[in-house]
Amino acid sequence: MSRKQRKHIRGKRGEKFLQIVRGIDRARSLCVSLDISKYFHLVMMHNAYGEIVTPSFEIDIFRSGFEHLCQVIDETAARIGAEVVLIGMEPTGHYFENIARHLHARYEHVYLINSLAVKENRAQKMMHYQKTDEGDAAAIGDLLCRGEGTPYRPNKGIYLEMQHIDRVRVAKLKMRSALKNQIIGHLDRIFPGLIITNKEAQKRHRPLFTTDFWSGKMAQDLVRVCPDPRQLSQMSLQELIDTFHAQGCRMGPHWATKIVAFAQQTLHPDPEIIAVRSQLLQRDLVLLEQIEGCIAKLEDRLLALLVQTPGYIWSRLKGISPIQAASLMAAMGDPSHYDYAAQVFCRSGLVSGRNDSGTRQKKGKGKHVTKMGDVYLRRALINLVETLSLHQPTLGDYRRRLKSVKSHPGVARVATVRKAMGILFAIQRDQRIDGLLLKGDDPM
């Protein structure tokens, strides 16, 4: 049981929803449920009793569809004498954002209904095998009537810009990772054995480069200047040195000897495969350079915007890089939208564990984090707490203590995220850092 005395079984969210609907006849509450899709949205209108007051209809994503929706809402509200209009929808990808923003500008109460809650609500109503748009809209409406939604509060200004820039940055990071893997695939076919990442294989055969390929300048220069082992094996040391120097790359007799010897012991692939893959490799290397340049520009803009937010103070903490602070602020959005840190944590969808019989069976083994929140916020928090735990004794000791008493390490990690979010929320709110190490400080 919570140490705080609750006034409502659903906590503060339930209290706020009750303030909206208290004293209103359920028949005079108009609930508008939208099942969002890419090009069309299904609309269902009912009262708080669940009685459908207007037949379901479909709207498109254009102005005509929005205006038709508003017209039907207004006409229905007038017909039933609605005292309150509640609008609910799932936050489906980015498809909901445009119509939600327009509806929020026109109607006071717009709610986002969690997708996992909709799925579970369908299951509770024995609709496991019925996947229809009307079924989803009905499940959304049922949750909306019960106040299970989160008020939609769109970001504006710098927070809106940060949100979209960081989402594009994350997409570019994934693109970069995929492209790097593709480049390694080219090298495996052009120069077998040049890149050995398997630790067991590294013990049995010493690779040419002992450092990680993406952090070693010599390795990257080699695949740009001359990745062909057949050509390398036929070069003299001076020819290899001159070839590197002609491309503005460093090369001395020591490395030239190692590279030529390694190329001579390689089992050379078919020359035609080398020729084709070498061209593809060079194109992908150029593309990788462009993507990295794009990421750098996006991060520069994010950092420039971070300075204008209360979250800039986070970058002073040891264990948080400026880009981590910017990413968290971008995912979190305007801090004024939150009254307390738990709201941020709940929006992430992370669940640190429940003290009930279901989750205590088998010592909690096999229980996974419930993926029901904002994926960008969840990713930012988890990435941030990994480095914070290493550099901040307060959080590191807390996490280790939980690991010693909890059987599942994921529970300790999520609980640490929750504690960290509470600390970070207080820091940006009060603009003061107490009890944590700053950059440049030495641990006690």
- pLDDT tens digit string along 8-46? 777 777 888 888 889 999 999 999 999 999 999 999 999
Q: How far is CA 94 from CA 97, 133, 142, 393, 437, in A?
A: 6, 18, 23, 39, 38
**Nearest by Cα to 377 from 338, 328, 423, 415:** 328
**Which has more pLDDT, 115 or 423?**
423
CA distance 311 to 112: 25
Q: Which of 434, 401, 396, 166 is nearest to 317 (CA)?
A: 434
Query: Residue 372's pLDDT is what?
Result: 60
Whether domain 11-151 has CATH 3.30.420.40 = yes
Please give the residue that has the higher pLDDT: either 86 or 346: 86
DSSP 350: -
User: Is pLDDT of 365 > 60?
Assistant: no
pLDDT higher at 149 or 424: 424
Query: Phi/psi at 3 (nearest 5 deg)?
Result: -70, -20
Beta-bridged to residue 317, according to DSSP, are 438
**Cα–chain-centroid distance for residue 141?**
28
Residue of 392, 323, 418 lying closest to 315 (CA atoms): 323
Please write the tens of the pLDDT for every residue from 307-334.
999 999 999 999 999 999 999 999 999 9
Q: Nearest CA to 299 among 166, 158, 164, 161?
A: 166
Residue 78 has pLDDT above 80, yes or no: yes
Q: Count other Cβ atoms within 10 Å, centred on residue 300.
A: 11
pTM here is 0.84
Sign of CA dihedral 121, 126, 128, 130: negative
Round the CA-based radius of gyration of the chain to a whole number and report it: 28
At residue 357, the pLDDT reads 36
Could you tell me whether strands 109-112 and 84-89 are parallel, antiparallel, or unpaired per DSSP bridges? parallel
Q: What gap in Å lies between CA 257 and CA 36, rounded to an integer?
A: 63
